Amino acid sequence: MVPPVLSKSGLVEQPVLRLVWSLAFARPETAQEVTFIGYSFPTTDMAARTLFSEALKDLPRQDINIVNLGREESETETTQETYRSMFGDIPDGQFHFDGALDWIRGLPSDHRGGGSASGKQVMLIIGTLSSHPTPALHRPRASS
C-alpha cells in the first residue's frame, strides 16, 4: 500500500517503494478488467491519478467497474464525475453504489474465488477505510 501523495518523486527515491510503484503501473496495464472498490481518487493523490489514467488508457471503458456505497445522489454524482474525468465515458452500468458486499453477492459464483468465467485477467483496487470521506463499503442489514 502506498500512501496518497501529490508527487511520486519521494516514492521512487526509496528502493522498496520504487519497486512497488513500478509493479503498481505494470499490473493494471496488463489487466483486462479493473474494479475499484471504495476508492475515491482524492485530489491530493495526484500520483495515483496519473498512474491509473496512464496504465488504463487502452482498457475499454466497459471493463472498468466502480464499487462504492452511495447513500445520497450527490455522492454518486461526485463519484461518477471523478472517474469520468479521469477515464472518459464510463457507462452508468459500471457504477455500483450498493456497497462491496452486495456487489460480491451479485457476482457469478465462478468469479468469487478470484477466477473469471471469461478467462479475463481481473484486477481489484481497494481503497482504505478510515476517517477518509469514502463511505463504508456495505450497508448494515435492516433488522426485522
Give the tens place of pLDDT for each residue, 44-76: 877 788 888 888 888 999 999 999 988 899 989
Task: Kindly state the average pLDDT of the residues 67-89.
Answer: 91
Residue 22 lies in a domain: yes
Residue 92 lies in a domain: yes
d(CA 63, CA 36): 11
Domain that holds residue 40: 9-126
Residue 19 lies in a domain: yes
Residue 79 lies in a domain: yes
Sorted by sequence, the CB contacts under 8 Å of residue 11 that are 6+ apart come out as 2, 5, 17, 18, 20, 21, 47
104 compared with 21, residue with greater pLDDT? 104
